[in-house]
Amino acid sequence: MKRMSAVLAFLFAAALAATSLSASKPKPAEGTTLTVFAAASLTEPFTELGRMLESSHPGLTVRFNFAGSQQLAAQIDQNADADLFASADEHWMSFLVDHGKIEGEPRVFAHNELVVIVPKSNPARIQTLPEISKRGVKVVLGSPSTPIGIYSRGVLQRMGALGLDYPSNFAERVLANVVSEEDNVKSVVTKVQIAEADAGIVYRSDVTDPVARVVRVFQIPPKAQVVANYPIAPLKSSIHGQEARAFLNLLASKEGRAVIERYHMTVPEPDKH
Amino acid sequence: MSASGARTLRDVGLRVVGTLATAILLALLALPIAALVLHVPPARLIARMGDPAVLEALRLSLVTSLAATLAVVALGLPLAWLLATRRFPGRRLLEVIVDLPMVLPPTVAGLALLLALGRAGLAGHVLAAFGITLPFTTAAVVVAQIFMAAPFFIAPVRAGLAAVEPRYLDAAATLRADETYRFLHVTLPLSLPSVVAGVAMCCARALGEFGATITFAGNLPGVTQTMPLAVYMAFQTDLEAAVTLAVLLLVFSAALLLGLRLAPSWVRIDAHRNH
């Protein structure tokens, strides 16, 4: 009898625990909360857009989860509670489209480019871009699973093919210099910012004013440059379709586009999506 | 009111509440572990364990945690002894400093380590002058593990050393045993169970270290990417690989803790045999 009640209590508790685990959805108590999962490189413009939307929609709270696009995609794939997904590349968006998580057609709302950043203190004394392939330069890149990591490796390959001052094995030499593969672009920025890394490859938009004060920016030759496309789409599981649409409309509006552009990203022509 | 073993309604209520509380907590602790173990079929799990990337992370984890544990024992035993046996001004403060990493968020620890031992850090720039830079090296992984795991060794050892009854030491002293002899042949054998506990806890904590490592040492397979970092990175792209690594880590950590539960009895027997 005693054992029986203990077993029952355990089962009850297990059931309780199971339901409380799945019931982690926030209750729309007073206002509504729009949850946006966005690539780490969108941290600054999206935070600003979120504030704009909140001020034009009283009662609405916009909550962000900024991380590497691959990490967000994995979380959404495991049924994380989100309303919108903005990726730093088309790969992770297609991944979620293929997994049936995306509502409708993703729309590319911004383009970004890559730059090489070096601490102002310049511990490795880098004066020209080919010098990041010198032996012993501590290079930090995004991990090969992150969009920035994939773009960076592509750009390095193309720089090696340029000839000029670039050694033919430029990409291999730079990759041999990699001391850390970060899980998102902001971690790359930080490592260069605090001068632990000698060089890093990040998006142009990551060089915000505070970052620009402590790093030196090297432009990647146009022939080796890539264009990073940022798609956004609502999620099928979202119950805040209206609010999600409001965010998308703001993003497509003149004001929204101005915010994106202020962070050194470009926006596609309004009619072309 | 009469019989001593009378069980009131209140007692029954307390039992029910106690059972329920225990069951809820146990379920909460055991469910995630069960989910992890059940996620990938055992055959797939074993097949993936031979993966070179898995073995590389495992090797790095074992080597660094072992190095960190050895360092903590060598450097921590004197400190634990000092805290256990000596009264001096600032002892409380010292205890807080020693215990702090236990409650510090690991990323905060990583940031602190960078600011202290990073290339531009407080002590790091002195090291840099000698051509030593820690961040992004395997040594940095060990340093992060030492920082996070040391309190887990010092706390039980300090308690164990303090619990040695002075009369044994006094008896040894009357036999003209010097302090070194008394420490090696009386104090240490008597507190061996807590030393073993400290070693196991320290090693388990080092094995599981994540936040301080990724912040301070970075993430590079074969150099700084230990098992927990490999789990974190794999989760973003390959859930099955992440679970494989996680289960492997779980097995090692559980074995350490289980060993700890079994060890003190052997240790005690051995200690008696030797004396």
* CA–CA min distance B19, chain A (Å): 7
Whether B205 and B183 have beta carbons less than 8 Å apart is answered as no
> Bridge-partner residues for A235, per DSSP?
A102
Average confidence (pLDDT) over A24-34: 59
Any idea which fold A6-111+229-272 has? Answer: D-Maltodextrin-Binding Protein; domain 2 (3.40.190)
Strand residue runs (E) in chain B: none
What was the pLDDT predicted at A178?
A: 94
CATH class of A114-224: alpha beta
What are the pLDDT digits (tens) for B219-230? Answer: 998 899 999 999
**Dihedral over alpha carbons A188, A191, A194, A195 (to 10 degrees):** -110
Q: Is A140 on the interface with B (CB under 8 A)?
A: yes
pLDDT for A19 beyond 70: no
Tokens of A147: 């969009």
| Residue A5 in this model has a pLDDT that exceeds 80 | no
Residue found under tokens 């789409």: A233
Bridge-partner residues for A181, per DSSP? A141
What CA–CA distances, in Å, run from B165 to B41, B83, B171, B172? 52, 16, 10, 12
**Measured between CA atoms, how close is B61 to chain A, in angstroms?**
17
Q: Does B220 sit within 8 Å of A178, measured CB to CB? A: yes
Taking only the tens place, the pLDDT of each residue in A80-104 is 889 999 998 888 999 999 988 888 8
Does residue B128 register a pLDDT over 90?
no
Q: How far is A265 from chain B (nearest CA, A)?
A: 26
Å between A76 CA and nearest CA of chain B: 11
At B2 the three-state DSSP class reads coil
| Residues in contact with A73: Cβ distance below 8 Å, sequence separation at least 6, in sequence order | A85, A87, A92, A93, A95, A96, B236
Question: Where is average pLDDT lowest: A6-20, A37-51, B79-93, B134-148?
Answer: A6-20
Split at pLDDT 50, 70, 90, the class of B266 is low
- For B43, the token pair is 């055959």
Render pLDDT for A168-196 as a digit per residue (tens, 0 to 9).
888 889 999 999 999 888 889 999 998 88
- Mean pLDDT of the B135-163 span: 94
Instruction: Count other C-beta atoms under 10 Å from residue A123's C-beta.
Output: 18
pLDDT at residue number A179: 94
Q: For A225-241, what is the mean pLDDT? A: 89
Residue B184 DSSP one-character state: I
CB contact under 8 A, B119 and A196: yes
Contacts by A169-176, CB closer than 8 A, 24 or more apart: A170/A130, A170/A133, A173/A133, A173/A135, A174/A132, A174/A133, A174/A139
d(CA A88, CA B215): 23
Which chain A residues have a beta carbon less than 8 Å from that of B26?
Answer: 10, 13
Cβ density class B125-140: b for 16+ within 10 Å, e for less = eeebeeeebbbbbbbb
Give the percent of chain A with pLDDT over 70: 88
Among A263, A259, A262, A261, which residue's Cα sits nearest to residue A247? A259
Mean pLDDT of B67-83: 95
Across A97-106, A237-246, B173-182, least confident range: B173-182
**Three-state secondary-structure class, residue B115:** helix
Mean pLDDT, all residues of chain A: 84
pLDDT (mean) for B196-216? 92
Alpha-helical runs (H) found in B40-137: 42-49, 52-85, 91-103, 106-117, 124-129
Is A182's CB within 8 Å of B237's CB?
Answer: no
Instruction: Please give the Cα distance from B110 to A180 (Å, whole number).
Output: 15
For residue B274, pLDDT beyond 60:
no
Q: Check pLDDT > 90 for residue B120.
A: no
- The percent of residues in chain A predicted with pLDDT above 90, rounded, is 29
What average pLDDT does this structure show over A102-113?
89
How would you classify the pairing of strands A60-67 and A32-39? parallel
**Contact A16/B at CB under 8 A:** yes
Query: Both tokens of residue B236?
Result: 């973003």
- Spans of all domains in chain A: 6-111+229-272, 114-224
Please list every residue in chain A whose beta carbon sits closer than 8 Å to the beta carbon of residue B235: 71, 74
pLDDT in the model for residue B169: 81
User: Within chain B, what is the greatest distance between any pair of CA atoms?
Assistant: 81
The helix or strand, by DSSP H or E, that contains position B1, with its residue range, turns out to be none
Q: Which residues of A touch B214 (CB under 8 A)?
A: 183
In terms of Cα–Cα distance, which of B209, B201, B204 is closest to B145?
B209
A70-74, B1-5, B50-54, B216-220: lowest mean pLDDT where?
A: B1-5
Residue A81: per-residue pLDDT = 87
Angle at B215 between CA B214 and CA B221, to 5 degrees: 30
Same fold, A6-111+229-272 and A114-224: yes
Cβ contacts (< 8 Å) between B24 and chain A: which residues? 13, 16-17
